[in-house]
Structure 1
Amino acid sequence: MLKSSDESEKKNLARKVKDSEIGVPIVYGNIAFWLGKKASEYQSHKWTVYVRGAGNEDLGVVIKRAVFQLHSSFNNPTRIVESPPFELSESGWGEFEIIITLHFHSDVTDNPLHLYHHLKLYPGDESGPMSTKKPVVVESYDEIVFLEPSEGFLSRVKNHPAVIVPRLPADIILPPVPMEDVDKRKRGDANDHPLSQWFDNFSEADELLILAGARQQVQAQIARLRRQLSLVDGQPPQLKAASDL
């Protein structure tokens, strides 16, 4: 029995690309604004909990919807967000754990992903007193990895800024991307988000600078300890290049 062209096309789109993976860097967390003089006993903060791209890109190309499970004291504690930005804003006074469940498009995976975030409203001791001008921001970085993605998924996201796509072998020819997906991909950058000025920067270049700075501090501390040990032993300290430490 011959299959229709539509069935054949669906089969090709669902075919797995072996020995490959797609990475999607994400950031999830919350931002909380103290209400100051407007604060009441039960309404001291306005807050937003969210899942975003590491560079604040639109994750709608991968995520179909996000479900936020709030504390049972809230009206309708299960909140469903069907489209990006995947965020939820509320007000209150207490801190609690929020379960964030991500559901993906059908060509990505049928398995949801559960994230756990503890809502933080109040600054730590090192952050100073509460301020209406500077919000409390708590974020976590992670990367979702999809092993052996389908050809349809890979073709749809291969040039999207929110997705890390591997270099493919020359013999793999991906199917064309539907026009509606091309339009969505052009809208993938969401850096004009109203809260973006408060978001942490998780770019790879910044992370490398932080690691380099930490390495220099460790090397300097090792050099100081070696000098102290040499003085205790009565031997002159030996000079070494930083790369040898």
Structure 2
Amino acid sequence: MRRWLFHYEIRNTIIRLISLQAINWVVTALVASHLGSDEPLRTWIIVVLVFAIANPIQWLFTSPAKYKKKVVDLETNKALAWKDVARYIIVPFMIVTFITMICLLEQQTAFRCTSHSDHHKLNTNLTLGDTDAYVKVIMVILSSWTENSYAKRQAFRNSTLRLLPQHSNRISIVYRFILGDAPSTKTRMELGHRIHVESQEFNDILMIPTLDTFHQLSRKVYKTYQWSSKFAFDYLIKTDDDVFIRLDTVAKELEEMGPGKRYYWKGLAYWNIPPNSEIEQKYADEEYDLPIFPPFTAGPLYILSRDIISLIVNDAPRLFTRNEYQSLGVWLFSYNIKPIHDRRIQQADVCEDDMIAKQFNELYSSSKTMEDMYENIRNNRRLCEGFPQINCAGVTIVRPIIYGNIATPLPPKKSAETDHTHKWTVSVKGVNGEDISYFIKKVVFKLHETYQNPLRTVESPPFEISETGWGEFELTMKLHFIPESGEKPVTLYHNLRLHPYEDDGSILTSNKGKPVSSFQYDELVFTDPTETMYQILLSNTTSNLPTRSTASQPYSIQAEQEEIKAIEAAYRQVQESITKYKQRMENANKEMTQVKAELDSLMKS
């Protein structure tokens, strides 16, 4: 502005100022129409950034000022007086900015008032059909406030729900689509009326009092459990709106099993899964600090008995992880309840004729739909007829590996020269040193940041690196599998060990000068591999664990059995201690009750 007033006549400056504000209003309107009027601060910030970028561009590309003769004599024509700046720049700019702010706030207020008047109260009632049914089931289907989810609900009704058995005296299944509160006022204004009409038409949508965003998914499911606990039922089925379910098969199995099954938890089970540490990813588990998750079942479909719901919905504090199905595993871990694995529940890239659930999410690339799968059933065709079947469902292949390091002390002379005390080699290999490159493409080692080039990639066997140093630290080894596998990389963690240690943690001096070996045994599990990967794994031999341990090979079936026995003995010891301390607590409570009764008696007398 000051530049304009310095180079141009007052009339031209005012014209430019008015033009600027007109452009400002247009940009503000465009940004607000995209973000919504319920986010004025973001609108203002984006507009400011646009003009901050446009200003230097204008300096670079505009032509020389038309009225440069105005400043021929800088001695007599001094810099602009502050009163001129205030009169022609600050005051008009403040007035226009104030008008813009008032308009945005007024629009936001009207938007909120309108949105509150349109806050639809969806049906929360639930009738379990024939209340005298032998088995009563509630099915909850997670959905959301998006155009895509609206289409998914319609597809679910046109496929899965057509397999819903009629209410009878044997089994009764009722369902609800579960939505949270609209994630923004803009979303409620755009989709609220449509969802309200949909709810009136089908009477199957339930609104849960929690924000409907991915980050709040665990809380949304927990609130759903709380809502369901108000009703009398035997089993709860949890699924998503993009999953096709053989409800006829599921209903028949639940009917045959009957009510009263205690602590029943069934689904596609996962064991010993580490949390996702990639913070930039959608499924990163920032809230979970332990190295592995307790057993859990995949989200597309799992079944819980009524007593498990009662355990979950108590008022105790709880951890909510990013993924609702992993939260369920965390909540049930303390009760020592383990899931029953059902391989017939498949992800998007698998199709098997005997499966009971298949997910059709964004990872599913085929043009076939849930309705096509229902048509196969209706026309007595194979369930997966016409669907791609490139993965081998129900197949699990294990490849054993060992990883770790061996360290050797450096000679005193060389150690003094480099200030390093040991030479060490860290590696990943087969149990007997066999080649594993037929399924591993490369290994990325991440060393301590003090090393030059701490991130090192090895793309051919042996998968190892050697270095010298004086300190121990944690390093990672990220295994990248061959492209045919379709598998995600696996990260291994290892604490570099240079010294031998006693059981109490002190350095073992008697072994001074000898090599130190620190390796771990692990198994890479390939569940439902692609057909190509399946053939690759089977066409290459791998070493099985030997029956007995030797000095050169400590990993064996014998060592595994001994470790299992040691764990079982430790578990029994812990259980005995728990029983003993419970008895002590009960005795203490009895004594406390007796003392209180005696005190009350003394007070009365």
Q: TM-score, normalised on structure 2?
A: 0.26
State how far apart, in whole Å, the 2-side matches of 1:210 and 1:163 are: 21
Residue 146 of structure 1: which of 526, 547, 551 is its match? 526
Asked if 1:15 corresponds to 2:390, the answer is yes
Q: Select the residue among 128, 132, 137 that pairs with 2:517.
A: 137
In 1, Cα distance between the equivalents of 2:516 and 2:430?
20
Pairwise CA distance, 1:18? 1.4
Q: Are 2:476 and 1:99 aligned?
A: yes
Which of 194, 202, 207 aligns to 2:560? It is: 207
1:112-146 deviation per Cα after TM superposition (whole angstroms, max 9, x unaligned): 111111111111136732433x3111111111111
Q: CA deviation at 1:98?
A: 0.5
1:204, distance to aligned residue in structure 2 (A): 2.5
Distance 1:96 1:142 in 2: 20
1:111 to 472, 488, 491: 488
Larger RCO, structure (CA 8 Å, separation 6 or more) = 1
* Count of aligned positions: 172
Query: Does the Cα contact within 8 Å between 2:443 and 2:459 map onto a contact in 1?
Result: yes
Aligned partner (choices 26, 41, 49) of residue 401 of structure 2: 26
> Alignment partner of 1:125: what SS?
coil
* Residue segments in structure 1 that go unaligned for 5+ positions in a row: 1-13, 165-196, 219-245
* Contact in 2 for aligned 1:49/1:89 (Cα 8 Å): yes
TM-score by length of 1: 0.61
Q: Is the 8 A contact 1:26 1:52 kept in 2?
A: yes
Q: Specify which structure has the higher proportion of helix.
A: 2
Structure 1 residues 198 and 32, CA, compared in 2 at 3 Å: closer, same or farther?
farther
User: Cα distance 1:32–1:76, how it changes in 2: closer, same or farther (>3 A)?
Assistant: same
Is the contact made by 1:53 and 1:59 (CA closer than 8 Å) also made in structure 2? yes
Measure, in 2, the Cα distance between the counterparts of 1:206 and 1:138. 16
- 2:476 & 2:551 partners in 1: Cα distance? 23
Change (3 A) 1:68 1:58: same
8 Å contact from structure 1 (residues 157, 163) kept in 2: no
Q: How does 1:43-62 map to 2 (within 5 A)?
A: 43-62=420-439
User: In the alignment, which of 444, 450, 466 is matched to residue 67 of structure 1?
Assistant: 444
Q: Which residue of 2 aligns with 1:120?
A: 497
* CA distance in structure 1 between the partners assigned to 2:477 and 2:563 by the alignment: 29
What percentage of aligned pairs have identical amino acids?
39
SS at structure 2 position matched to 1:153: helix
Do the aligned partners of residues 198 and 34 (structure 1) sit closer, same or farther apart at CA in structure 2, a change above 3 Å counting? farther
Change (3 A) 1:128 1:141: same
Write the mapping of 1:137-216 to structure 2, written as runs, cut at 5 A. 137-162=517-542, 200-208=553-561
The residue aligned with 2:233 is: none
* Contact 2:434–2:543 under 8 Å retained in 1: no
**Matched AA of 1:75:** Q
Would the alpha carbon gap of residues 109 and 203 (structure 1) be closer, same or farther in structure 2, given more than 3 Å must change?
farther
CA RMSD in angstroms comes to: 2.9
- Contact persistence 1:55–1:202 (CA under 8 A): no
Amino acid at match of 1:105: I
Contact 1:27/1:51 (<8 A) preserved: yes
Q: Which whole-Å deviations, capped at 9, do the CAs of 1:209-241 have from their partners, x for residues lacking one?
A: 6767x69x99xxxxxxxxxxxxxxxxxxxxxxx
**1:35 pairs with 2:410:** yes
Larger mean CA deviation between 107-116 and 92-101 belongs to 107-116
Amino acid at match of 1:96: F
Report if aligned partners of 1:65, 1:102 keep a CA contact under 8 Å in 2. yes
**Structure 1 residue 149 displacement after superposition:** 0.9
CA distances 1:154-202 after superposition (whole Å, capped 9, x unpaired): 11221423378xxxxxxxxxxxxxxxxxxxxxxxxxxxxxxxx986531
Cα distance in structure 2, aligned partners of 1:74 and 1:114: 20
2:430 aligned partner, one-letter code? G
In structure 2, the partner of 1:168 is none
Structure 1 residues 205, 44: CA separation in 2 closer, same or farther (over 3 Å shift)?
same
DSSP 3-state at the match of 1:152: helix
Contact 2:486–2:530 under 8 Å retained in 1: no
- C-alpha distance in 1 between matches for 2:551 and 2:535: 33
Partner secondary structure for residue 59 of structure 1: coil
Per-residue CA distance 1:91-121 (angstroms, 9 max, x = gap): 1111111011110001113411111111111
Letter in 1 for 2:497: K
| Per-residue CA distance 1:13-56 (angstroms, 9 max, x = gap) | x8111110111111111100011423236211000011111232
Q: Secondary structure at the match of 2:397?
A: strand
CA contact (8 A) 2:407 2:498 kept: yes
Q: Give the AA of the match of 1:203.
A: S
Q: Counterparts of 1:161 and 1:155 in 2: how far apart (Å)?
A: 12
In structure 2, stretches of 5+ residues that fail to align are 1-388, 545-549, 571-605
